[in-house]
Amino acid sequence: MRLLYDKVYEQIRKTDFESLWKGFHAYHFALYNSDSVYFKDKTGDYEECFLGNTSIKYGDEQIAIWRVDDYTKEDPVLLAANIIHEMFHAYQYECREKRFPDDLKALDYPIVSDNILLKYAENQQIVKAVKSNDRRIIKECLSSVFASRARRKELIKEYIDYEYKMETVEGVAEYIGLCALKQLDYEKYENKINKYIDNLADTDNILFDNRRLAYYSGCLLLIALKQADICFFHDISKETKTVYELVAEGFPASDLPEILHKYAIEESLKHYIDNRKKLFSDFFSKNPECTEKSFKICGYDPMNMVKLDNLVWCKYFVMLKEKAKEDPLLIYNQVVLKVDETDTTSVSAYYTV
């Protein structure tokens, strides 16, 4: 693990941070597993504040962290790009980023067939723009994307703001990581772009994962904007509008994109709804133990949460804060929370197997 850390560190040292985003700079980072945490100059025992791949406040500074369970399977170049993504989150925190999305509210994202069909169609316009070297074609594709988003806002109201914010926070960070990868290894950069293009073409799983999808649509949208010489740089410390809202202002919207693969997407949507119900029925078929107490959700893995009615399934962990206690309860296991119908952060019971 120490050798992996040193290799990643060397890749990060090669990166021109200022060219990625004006004002952005390198931050300290840590690699960790269930036993140890590796920093540049020391190794320590695992601490519970190290959860997921993200940026955390450690001591008096913001750092990037990444979990590595098997260091022999890690590519130092790809890992360096991922760490730089997390470093950009550290930069966002230090800039007091105001546009972080509400992941818990997004669990109630409405399942509307027309919205899903349009979202898929607009993502194919983003792909077409990325693949083109013609600025006229790129701008035509972007106009179609903007028309689609205006229509989808009518369909799902304020929930589309979650997509815009996710693209702004995670999409921009992923774009930064991709641009760093481009500096370090162009072939690996192209391979990742092609993978993201394939992800936007997925009609089975990723299309219904709004958080993960915004990583790909957000970073590819920025690549298309850059290819068209449309400026999206801004002062993160001052801006309240999302990146999409900034670039869409005054940009002419064209006709809606053509709906593609309607039958396949509608069939996938049915499977998605059925599988979500099965997830909960399978869990409760194991006769889980119920603990009834009042909590507030204070930590969670947004990539692995599903909501059905007033129940929230957490795949790996959740942190709950009991009002009378200072230290939160960390449940490091599969768990289902019973939440308030009007406030997803409020928990009245949890179930564990």
DSSP code, position 318 = E
CA distances from 186 to 20, 88, 319 (A): 15, 21, 40
What one-letter code names the amino acid at 220? L
pTM of the model: 0.93
Q: What distance in Å separates the CA atoms of residue 288 and residue 258, rounded to the nearest whole number?
A: 46
Q: What distance in Å separates the CA atoms of residue 300 and residue 5, rounded to the nearest whole number?
A: 27
pLDDT of res. 117: 97
List the beta strands (DSSP E) in 225-284. Answer: none
pLDDT of res. 330: 93
Regions of the chain with pLDDT less than 70: none
- Average pLDDT of the chain is 96
Contact partners, residue 218, CB within 8 Å, separation at least 6: 166, 167, 168, 170, 171, 172, 174, 175, 243
DSSP code, position 157 = G
pLDDT of res. 253: 77
pLDDT of res. 249: 87
* Site of tokens 């130092």: 76
The per-residue pLDDT for range 144-174, each reduced to its tens digit, is 999 999 999 999 999 999 999 999 999 999 9
pLDDT of res. 326: 86
CA distances from 350 to 48, 57, 282, 285, 294 (A): 21, 28, 16, 15, 10
pLDDT of res. 106: 92
